[in-house]
C-alpha cells in the first residue's frame, strides 16, 4: 500500500516510534557485524574471494539501511517532541551510498575494493627482484635514508606502483559517489561529508584556523629548509622556495619527526626525545607497545581493552605471504563485544604514537557501545581523531618517557624545552597544511571545480601553495599522486585530522587543568589522573547523540574550535623560531617550480648506504 504523501497518513505516536527504533537497533547490530566482519576478513587477506564476500555483505547492509529509511519515512518524525528520538530518525534517514540502485552500488563497492587492494598490495621491485611494499620497506627508506637519489627512487617509484594505476578507477568512483550524494539531497559528496559537522561554515572556520597557525608553520618551514639546504646543497632546492617533497622523512611530507635526531635537533648535547633507539634496545614488541598504551588509558580510569581485542586484533604484519591492508586502523564491530586494531607495527616512536592513536578510537567505541547504533560515532569526526592524540601529548613528554623507562634522564632547561617543542612541532605543526589541503583537493573534485584532466595539477598547486612542498621532478597527468596517499583510495575523509590537530590541544589544556597540572602546557602529563579521565569519558560516552558543541563544552567549557591552546603550547618555540629566522624571507611562491627535471626510474635501486663511522651523520657510499 503506497502511503498518501499528506501528513495525516504519517504515524505521529512517539511510543510507536521508540518501538520501531529499538527493533531496528537490534537488527542493525547483526547486519553491521556481518558486513564489518567480511570487511575485516578482506582487509586481513586481500583475495578475490574475500573481496566478493565483502561486497556482497555491503549490499545486504545497504538493502537493510534502505528498508529502515523507507519505514522511518512513515513517521512524522520531524514533528516529534523528543529531541533524541528526532535525532535518531534524522540519522537513520541519511543513508549515503545505500540509496543507490543495486547495480550502481555494486559497481561503487567493487571499485572501492579494487582501489584499496591496489594501494595495499603495491610493491616497488628493482631489477634483482628485491621488492618493497610501502610498509615497512619504503616507509623506512623515507624515514632513515639521507641519500637524495635513493629517496627520489623510493618516492617516485611508490607513486608509479600506486597512484598512477588508480586514475581511471578514481574518476569513475567520483561519478557514482556523487550520484549517491545527489540522491540524498546533497549537491555532491563533499557537501555530504561536511554535513557531519552540523555547521554551515566549516570551510570558513577551518580557513580561519589555518590562517591563525600559518605564521608558526612558515617559521618552522624556514628553519627546516635551511637545515636541509645545509645537508643536500642549495642547488637541490627550487628558486620558488618550496622544499622538495621527498626530503622530509615521510612519503607524503606530512610529518617531519624522522629528521629530528640527526638533522634538526637545535641543541645537540642534550638527551634525544626520539625513543626509537630505546624501544629497540629494550627489545620492545608490538604487544608491549600496545600494553604500554593501554596502561596509560587505564591509569586515567578509562576502560581496558576487552579479551576479544587481544585475541582477534592483527598487530603485526603477517609473514605467511598474505597481502593485507597494512595502513593502521581501528574497528568497531557494532555488536558491543568485538573491537580490534589492524596494524603492521614497526618498533619505532612513530608507531608508538600511532598505537595510541588507534587505541583512542577503541576507547571511544568502548565508551559509547551501549548507545543506539546511529549514535556510535564521534561528536564530529575530528573528535574521534583527537582521543588517542590527547594521550600521546602526555606520553611523549620527556618526564613521562623517563617514568616508563624510555628515557635515561630528563634535563630540565630552556634548551631541552626548545628541543622537545621542535620535535613536537615536526609532527603537529608540519601536519597542519597537509591536513587542510587533502579535502580542499577532494571537495574541488567532487563539486566539479577540478576535472580529471587537472587532478594532478590541482594536487600540486595545493601542495606548493599551502605546504611549501614541491615535486622533486616533473609530474604529468599520467600520474595520479593523490592516489599515493591511503585516504584517497581508502575513501576516508581527511579534514577530520586538521580539526583534530587543533581541538586535541583544547582537550589537553582542559584535562591538564582538571589534573591540577600547573606548569607550562607542553610539560603537562595527565598520567594517573582519574579526574581528567572522568571528564573525558563524560564526553566520549555521548557519542554523536548531541551536537558536537555540547560535547566540546563538557570538556573545555567552550563550544567552538579554537587555536589558542595549540599556540599557547608552542609559544616558547614560536619566540625561538622567530629569532632564528630574523631578517629572512620565510615565504615561498604560491606556484610550483616549472623548470623541474624529467626523471626515469632506474631499475637498480641506488646503493645501500652506510653512515660515516666517524659519527658525523654524513652518509658515505661504500667504495
Ligand X SMILES: C[C@H](N[C@H](C(=O)O)[C@@H]1CCCN1C(=O)[C@@H](N)CC(=O)O)C(=O)N1CCC[C@H]1C(=O)O
**Would you please indicate which residues are annotated as catalytic (active-site) residues?**
358, 487
Interface positions, 406-445, toward Zn ion (CB under 5 A): none
The site for Zn ion, by CB under 5 A, has a size of 1
Q: Which is nearer to ligand X, 284 or 364 (CB)?
A: 364
Q: How far is the CB of 274 from Zn ion (least distance, A)?
A: 22
Long-range CB pairs of 193-199, under 8 A, 24+ apart, other chains included: 193/439, 193/443, 193/493, 193/495, 194/443, 194/495, 195/94, 196/380, 196/381, 197/380, 197/381, 197/382, 197/499, 197/548, 198/380, 198/547, 198/548
Q: Which stretch binds ligand X (CB under 6 A): 43-51, 325-333, 457-465, 581-589?
A: 325-333
Q: Which does 356 bind (CB under 5 to 8 A by kind): Zn ion, ligand X, none?
A: none
Do the Cβ atoms of 184 and 196 come closer than 8 Å? Answer: no
- 358 contacts ligand X (rule: CB under 6 A): yes
What is the distance between the terminal CA atoms of the chain, rounded to a whole angstrom?
Answer: 84
Do the Cβ atoms of 462 and 440 come closer than 8 Å? Answer: yes
Do the Cβ atoms of 390 and 511 come closer than 8 Å? Answer: yes
The site for ligand X, by CB under 6 A, has a size of 13
Residue 125: helix, strand or coil by DSSP? Answer: strand
For residues 47, 53, 54 and 59, what is the CA-based torsion angle, rounded to 10 degrees? 150
In whole angstroms, give the CA distance from residue 341 to residue 40.
Answer: 10
Q: Which is nearer to ligand X, 39 or 450 (CB)?
A: 39
Find all residues with CB under 8 Å of 409, minimum gap 6, and list them.
271, 402
Q: How far is the CB of 365 from ligand X (least distance, A)?
A: 7
Q: How far is the CB of 113 from Zn ion (least distance, A)?
A: 21
Separation in Å, CA 597 to CA 22, 163, 180, 238: 63, 20, 42, 11
Q: Which is nearer to ligand X, 345 or 354 (CB)?
A: 354
- 361 contacts ligand X (rule: CB under 6 A): yes
Q: Return the H-helix or E-strand segment holding 610.
A: strand 610-611
Q: Which is nearer to Zn ion, 383 or 576 (CB)?
A: 383
Report the residue from 279, 330, 407, 488 that binds ligand X according to the rule CB under 6 A: 330
- 240 contacts ligand X (rule: CB under 6 A): no
Interface positions, 369-388, toward ligand X (CB under 6 A): 384-385
* SS (HEC) of 137-172: HHHHHHHHCCCHHHHHHHHHHHHHHCHHHCHHHHHH
Q: Which is nearer to ligand X, 561 or 574 (CB)?
A: 561
Give the side-chain half-sphere CA count within 13 A for 111.
Answer: 21
Q: Which does 221 bind (CB under 5 to 8 A by kind): ligand X, Zn ion, none?
A: none
Q: How far is the CB of 342 from ligand X (least distance, A)?
A: 8
Instruction: Report whether the peptide linkage leading into residue 136 is cis, meaning its omega lies within 30 degrees of zero.
Output: yes
In whole angstroms, give the CA distance from residue 420 to residue 620.
Answer: 29
Q: How far is the CB of 357 from Zn ion (least distance, A)?
A: 6
- 158 contacts ligand X (rule: CB under 6 A): no
Complete DSSP assignment for 492-557: ---HHHHHHHHHHHHHHHHHHHHTT--S-GGG---TT-HHHHHHHHHHHTTTTSS-HHHHHHHHHS
Do the Cβ atoms of 612 and 618 come closer than 8 Å? Answer: yes
Q: How far is the CB of 332 from ligand X (least distance, A)?
A: 6
For residue 351, the Cα-to-chain-centroid distance in whole angstroms is 13
Joined together, the cell numbers standing for residue 185 give: 539531497
- 497 contacts ligand X (rule: CB under 6 A): yes
Q: Which stretch binds ligand X (CB under 6 A): 25-33, 49-57, 353-361, 557-565?
A: 353-361
- 44 contacts ligand X (rule: CB under 6 A): no
Q: Which stretch binds ligand X (CB under 6 A): 116-124, 322-330, 414-422, 468-476?
A: 322-330
Q: Which is nearer to ligand X, 188 or 385 (CB)?
A: 385
Q: Which is nearer to ligand X, 394 or 529 (CB)?
A: 394
The residue number with the shortest CB distance to Zn ion is 385
Interface positions, 367-386, toward Zn ion (CB under 5 A): 385
Q: Which does 206 bind (CB under 5 to 8 A by kind): Zn ion, ligand X, none?
A: none
Task: For the chain, give percent helix, strand, coil, nearest 5.
Answer: 60, 5, 35
Interface pattern 457-496 for ligand X (x via CB under 6 A)? ---------------------------------x-x----
- 96 contacts ligand X (rule: CB under 6 A): no
Q: How far is the CB of 366 from ligand X (least distance, A)?
A: 12
Length of the chain, in residues: 623
Q: How far is the CB of 492 from Zn ion (least distance, A)?
A: 9
Q: Which stretch binds ligand X (CB under 6 A): 14-22, 116-124, 231-239, 352-360?
A: 352-360
Q: Which is nearer to Zn ion, 338 or 385 (CB)?
A: 385
Report the residue from 55, 152, 328, 499 that binds ligand X according to the rule CB under 6 A: 328
Q: Which stretch binds ligand X (CB under 6 A): 153-161, 214-222, 324-332, 452-460?
A: 324-332
Q: How far is the CB of 555 from ligand X (least distance, A)?
A: 19
Task: Catalog residues that contact ligand X under the rule CB under 6 A.
Answer: 327-330, 354, 357-358, 361, 384-385, 490, 492, 497
Name the residues that contact Zn ion, by CB under 5 A: 385
Amino acid at each position: 500500500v503506497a502511503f498518501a504523501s499528506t501528513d495525516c497518513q504519517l504515524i505521529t505516536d512517539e511510543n510507536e516510534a521508540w518501538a520501531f527504533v529499538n527493533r531496528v537497533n537490534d537488527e542493525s547490530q547483526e547486519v553491521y557485524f556481518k558486513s564489518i566482519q567480511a570487511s575485516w576478513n578482506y582487509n586481513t587477506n586481500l583475495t578475490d574471494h574475500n573481496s566478493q564476500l565483502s561486497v556482497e555483505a555491503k549490499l545486504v547492509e545497504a538493502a537493510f539501511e534502505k528498508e529502515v529509511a523507507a519505514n522511518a519515512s512513515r513517521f512524522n518524525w520531524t514533528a516529534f517532541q523528543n529531541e533524541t528520538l528526532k535525532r535518531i530518525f534524522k540519522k537513520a534517514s541519511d543513508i549515503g551510498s545505500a540509496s543507490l540502485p543495486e547495480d550502481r552500488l555494486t559497481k561503487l563497492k567493487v571499485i572501492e575494493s579494487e582501489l584499496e587492494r591496489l594501494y595495499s598490495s603495491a610493491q616497488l621491485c628493482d631489477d634483482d627482484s628485491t621488492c618493497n611494499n610501502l610498509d615497512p620497506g619504503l616507509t623506512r627508506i623515507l624515514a632513515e635514508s639521507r641519500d637524495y637519489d635513493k629517496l627520489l627512487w623510493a618516492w617516485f617509484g611508490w607513486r608509479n606502483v600506486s597512484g598512477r594505476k588508480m586514475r581511471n578507477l578514481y574518476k569513475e568512483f567520483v561519478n557514482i559517489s556523487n550520484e549517491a550524494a545527489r540522491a540524498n539531497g546533497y549537491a555532491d559528496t563533499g557537501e555530504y561529508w561536511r554535513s557531519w559537522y552540523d555547521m554551515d561554515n566549516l570551510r570558513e572556520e577551518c580557513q580561519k584556523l589555518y590562517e591563525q597557525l600559518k605564521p608558526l608553520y612558515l617559521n618552522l618551514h624556514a628553519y627546516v629548509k635551511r637545515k636541509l639546504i645545509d645537508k643536500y646543497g642549495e642547488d637541490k632546492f627550487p628558486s620558488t622556495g618550496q622544499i622538495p617533497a621527498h626530503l622530509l622523512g615521510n612519503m607524503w611530507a606530512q610529518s617531519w619527526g624522522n629528521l629530528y635526531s640527526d638533522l634538526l635537533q637545535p641543541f645537540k648535547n642534550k638527551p634525544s626525545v626520539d625513543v626509537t633507539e630505546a624501544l629497540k634496545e629494550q627489545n620492545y614488541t608490538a604487544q608491549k607497545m600496545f600494553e604500554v598504551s593501554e596502561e596509560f588509558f587505564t591509569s586515567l580510569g578509562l576502560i581496558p581493552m576487552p579479551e576479544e581485542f587481544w585475541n582477534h586484533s592483527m598487530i603485526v604484519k603477517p609473514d605467511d605471504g598474505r597481502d593485507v591492508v597494512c595502513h593502521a586502523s581501528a574497528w568497531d564491530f557494532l555488536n558491543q563485544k568485538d573491537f580490534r586494531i589492524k596494524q603492521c607495527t614497526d618498533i619505532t616512536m612513530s608507531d608508538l604514537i600511532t598505537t595510541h592513536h588507534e587505541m583512542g578510537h577503541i576507547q571511544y567505541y568502548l565508551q559509547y557501545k551501549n548507545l543506539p547504533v546511529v549514535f556510535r560515532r564521534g561528536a564530529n569526526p575530528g573528535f574521534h581523531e583527537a582521543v588517542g592524540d590527547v594521550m600521546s601529548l602526555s606520553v611523549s613528554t620527556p618526564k613521562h618517557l623517563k617514568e616508563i623507562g624510555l628515557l635515561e634522564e630528563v634535563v630540565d632547561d630552556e634548551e631541552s624545552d626548545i628541543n622537545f617543542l621542535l620535535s613536537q612541532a615536526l609532527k603537529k605543526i608540519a601536519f597542519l597544511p597537509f591536513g587542510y589541503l587533502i579535502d580542499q583537493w577532494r571537495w574541488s573534485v567532487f563539486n566539479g571545480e577540478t576535472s580529471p584532466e587537472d587532478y594532478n595539477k590541482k594536487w600540486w598547486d595545493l601542495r606548493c601553495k599551502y605546504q611549501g612542498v614541491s615535486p622533486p621532478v616533473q609530474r604529468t597527468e599520467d600520474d595520479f599522486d593523490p592516489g599515493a596517499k591511503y585516504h584517497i583510495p581508502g575513501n576516508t575523509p581527511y579534514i577530520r585530522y586538521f580539526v583534530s590537530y587543533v581541538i586535541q590541544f583544547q582537550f589537553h589544556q582542559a584535562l591538564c587543568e582538571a589534573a591540577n597540572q600547573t606548569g607550562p602546557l607542553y610539560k603537562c602529563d595527565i598520567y594517573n589522573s582519574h579526574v581528567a579521565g572522568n571528564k573525558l569519558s563524560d564526553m566520549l560516552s555521548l557519542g554523536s547523540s548531541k551536537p558536537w558543541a555540547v560535547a566540546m563544552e563538557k570538556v573545555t567549557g567552550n563550544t567552538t574550535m579554537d587555536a589558542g591552546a595549540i599556540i599557547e603550547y608552542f609559544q616558547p618555540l614560536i619566540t625561538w623560531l622567530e629569532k632564528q629566522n630574523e631578517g629572512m624571507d620565510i615565504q615561498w611562491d604560491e606556484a610550483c617550480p616549472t623548470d623541474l627535471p624529467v626523471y626515469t626510474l632506474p631499475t637498480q635501486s641506488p646503493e645501500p648506504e652506510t653512515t660515516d663511522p666517524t659519527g658525523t651523520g654524513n652518509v658515505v657510499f661504500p667504495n
